[in-house]
């Protein structure tokens, strides 16, 4: 902001002085030579006018024409003189014809659409019979600039938004400094990195360090119509000449056509330009320098937690360490979570962890279904070999921070450190339940993703969908459960057309992201044999969920009912004869409970028989005599 009473007053004095020669020219054209000679001749410099003429390369005549229109807005005598000079009291406005006749060094080319006055919309031409006789009016943004009033162009409102710099997190300071150096050269910046909030903070901080105000352009707001895009382009280029502002562009997930339209606009943008490309290069043709925005390390996050929590941090040392290792929250996320904790005065043990989980969930809300884990290890009925593999998975998750971070494996190896698992088995054999057990025992969120709905028939869309999921989940290291892997996996055959080739690329992309993911990514399948062995080798853990035998089914029946459920006369050994997996057992038990509750009775074998018949009918599965065994 300019200091009032200094620059502002000097500019105002200079503007008044700059208007006098134009005033005198009007008086002489109107035949009032004596009045023109009587005008004072003091000289003063108008800084805004000088900057305007220099930045838009205005000739002396163009500058005088602009001042003529400004005078009409600022001094009532100008409108009267315009009317007198044009011999019509209703024509109290400037025209090109009047300017050509009254002002010195006139040239007809100033009227061209390709010359500054009209190309940059410094003047607005009103309706009229001819161009020369049409009313001229100085653009409002230009008038404010001349008078030293800071404002924005309302025609850019809703398309660009001014951004105010905030405190720059220490781990972004070097990035901001590099952005400032690149802009000063001057070069464009292609800003990359995983954290959207951090990318914006770094961009605004870098522009501020270079002495440049920042404006945000959301690519989705770019007009689809070419003529409208041209107007936006000229208005922005005019704005950056006026204010020296820089443009920060967030591309987001744009359709190809909209991306092309945005690219055509950005190629002609003047002034400092930062394009947020995330971790892709959709507009690499723009050139410029790629700058990667780092994510905060565990030590950075630990320092931010301690700074934001203040005295409260003293009693949360262990919790801060665990949260800093597990949750890759950025500065704004840690600030919000810390504010929640401070308002709750700590909130008790585990509150910091829960605050982190709540904050990390925000980005996953619309991408996947969060499953609230209920199952625990006691309720998981599996052979010991499979249970051992699940315990190993849990151990890998618990020790991940130590191995990857403190022991340096993440620095030594660029890939292959992700924890990937394949859960294979028939429906109802415990695949989802096992994922719940892992999530509950580790106090992590579990998200279920339906691969069938994630896979798109449009080339490249599947990868975009998967990228959004993994990027959003990275903050929390949540457990990701990809159901129906058969929708994407299958035995690779000879590539016969482009669709086969892209299907293989989709699988490779999924495995690549799973291997790089800092949490646990689980694929489930009912047809393990359909998955190519080349893909299987890239999965760290494979858990096969067998169909439960009679003894296991009996154990499942004994554990399926909640402790509060009223039971009477249940024969668990007989129930174990039903040749069904655990998921179907749970369905039958739940159905029987509702039947019993409807009659006000405890759950009996009769209710379970009715529920069994209903479930078998739904499955179109016959209830055999061996399963009934006299149970009627």
Backbone angles phi, psi at 250, to 5 degrees: -100, 115
pLDDT at res. 218: 83
Rounded to 5°, angle at Cα 181 from 175 and 187: 110
User: Which CATH fold would you assign to the domain 550-628?
Assistant: Helicase, Ruva Protein; domain 3 (1.10.8)
The total number of residues written for the chain in this structure? 632
| Residue matched to tokens 């005295």 | 311
Regions in the chain scoring below 70 on pLDDT: 1-5, 279, 281, 283-285, 344-350, 405, 410-417, 457-460, 487-504, 530, 632
CB of 250 within 8 A of CB of 283?
A: no
Most distant pair of Cα atoms in the chain: their distance = 126
Nearest one of 97, 40, 89, 99 to 65, comparing CA atoms: 99
Distance between CA atoms of residues 354 and 323, nearest Å? 9
Distance between CA atoms of residues 427 and 80, nearest Å? 88
For the sheet containing 289-292, what is the strand order?
Answer: 160-163, 214-218, 246-250, 273-278, 189-192, 289-292
Residue 5: helix, strand or coil by DSSP? coil
Where is 470: in which H helix or E strand? helix 461-473
Strand ranges (E), 43-174: 123-125, 136-138, 160-163
Which letter does DSSP use for residue 32 in this model? -
Beta bridge partners of 218: 250
Distance between CA atoms of residues 246 and 252, nearest Å? 19
Q: Is the dihedral of CA 564, 566, 568, 573 positive or negative?
A: negative
Task: Give the per-residue SS3 of 114-134.
Answer: CCHHHHCCCEEECCCCCCCCC
Top CATH class, 377-545: alpha beta
Q: pTM for the whole thing?
A: 0.80
Structure tokens at 508: 């490779």
108-119: buried (b, 16+ CB within 10 Å) or exposed (e) per residue?
A: eebbeeebbbbe
Distance between CA atoms of residues 23 and 84, nearest Å? 13
pLDDT at res. 165: 87
Count Cβ atoms below 10 Å from residue 177 Cβ, excluding itself. Answer: 16
pLDDT at res. 350: 67
CATH placement of domain 154-292:
3.40.50.300
Structure tokens at 627: 């399963």
């Amino acid at each position: 902001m300019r200091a009032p009473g200094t620059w502002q007053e000097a500019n105002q004095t200079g503007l008044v002085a700059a208007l006098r020669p134009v005033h005198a020219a009007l008086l002489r054209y109107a035949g009032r030579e004596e009045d023109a000679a009587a005008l004072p001749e003091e000289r003063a410099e108008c800084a805004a006018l000088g900057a305007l003429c220099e930045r838009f390369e205005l000739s002396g005549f163009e500058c005088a024409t602009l001042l003529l229109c400004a005078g009409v807005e600022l001094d009532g005598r100008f409108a009267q003189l315009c009317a007198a000079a044009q011999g019509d009291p209703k024509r109290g406005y400037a025209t090109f014809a009047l300017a050509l006749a009254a002002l010195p060094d006139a040239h007809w080319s100033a009227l061209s659409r390709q010359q500054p006055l009209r190309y940059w919309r410094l003047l607005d031409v009103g309706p009229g019979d001819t161009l020369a006789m049409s009313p001229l009016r100085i653009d409002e943004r230009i008038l404010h600039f001349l008078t030293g009033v800071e404002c924005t162009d309302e025609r850019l409102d809703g398309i660009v938004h001014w951004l105010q710099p905030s405190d720059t997190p220490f781990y972004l300071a070097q990035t901001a400094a590099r952005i400032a150096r690149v802009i000063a050269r001057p070069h464009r910046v292609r800003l990359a990195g995983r954290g959207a909030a951090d990318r914006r903070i770094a961009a605004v901080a870098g522009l501020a360090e270079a002495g440049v105000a920042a404006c945000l352009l959301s690519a989705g707001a770019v007009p689809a119509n070419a003529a409208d895009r041209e107007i936006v382009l000229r208005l922005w280029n005019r704005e950056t000449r006026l204010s020296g502002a820089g443009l920060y562009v967030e591309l987001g997930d744009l359709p190809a056509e909209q991306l092309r339209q945005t690219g055509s606009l950005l190629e002609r943008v003047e002034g400092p330009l930062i394009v947020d490309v995330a971790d892709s290069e959709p507009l690499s043709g723009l050139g410029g320098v790629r700058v990667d925005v780092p994510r905060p390390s565990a030590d950075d996050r630990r320092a931010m937690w301690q700074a934001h929590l203040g005295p409260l941090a003293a009693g949360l040392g262990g919790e801060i360490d665990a949260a800093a290792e597990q949750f890759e929250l950025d500065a704004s996320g840690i600030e919000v979570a810390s504010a929640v904790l401070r308002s709750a005065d700590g909130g008790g043990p585990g509150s910091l962890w829960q605050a982190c989980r709540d904050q990390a969930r925000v980005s996953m809300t619309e991408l996947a279904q969060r499953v609230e884990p209920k199952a625990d290890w006691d309720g998981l009925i599996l052979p010991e070999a499979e249970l051992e593999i699940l315990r190993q998975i849990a151990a890998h998750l618990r020790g991940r921070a130590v191995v990857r971070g403190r022991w340096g494996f993440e620095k030594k190896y660029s890939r292959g450190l992700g924890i990937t698992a394949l859960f294979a088995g028939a429906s109802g054999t415990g695949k989802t339940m096992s994922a719940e057990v892992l999530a509950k025992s580790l106090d992590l969120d579990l998200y279920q993703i339906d691969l069938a709905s994630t896979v798109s028939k449009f080339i490249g869309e599947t990868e975009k969908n998967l990228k959004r999921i993994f990027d959003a989940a990275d903050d929390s290291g949540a457990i990701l459960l990809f159901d129906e892997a058969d929708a994407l996996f299958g035995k690779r055959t000879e590539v016969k057309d482009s669709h086969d080739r892209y299907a293989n690329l989709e699988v490779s992309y999924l495995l690549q992201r799973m291997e790089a993911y800092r949490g646990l990514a689980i694929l489930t399948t009912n047809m393990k044999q359909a998955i190519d062995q080349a893909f299987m080798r890239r999965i760290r853990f494979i858990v096969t969920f067998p169909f439960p035998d009679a003894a296991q089914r009996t154990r499942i029946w004994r554990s399926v009912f909640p402790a509060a459920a009223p039971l009477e006369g249940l024969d668990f050994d007989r129930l174990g004869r039903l040749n069904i997996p655990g998921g179907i057992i749970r369905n039958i038990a739940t159905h029987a409970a509702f039947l019993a509750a409807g009659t006000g009775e405890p759950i009996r074998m009769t209710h379970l028989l009715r529920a069994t018949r209903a479930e078998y009918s739904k499955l179109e599965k016959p209830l055999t005599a061996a399963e009934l065994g006299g149970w009627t």
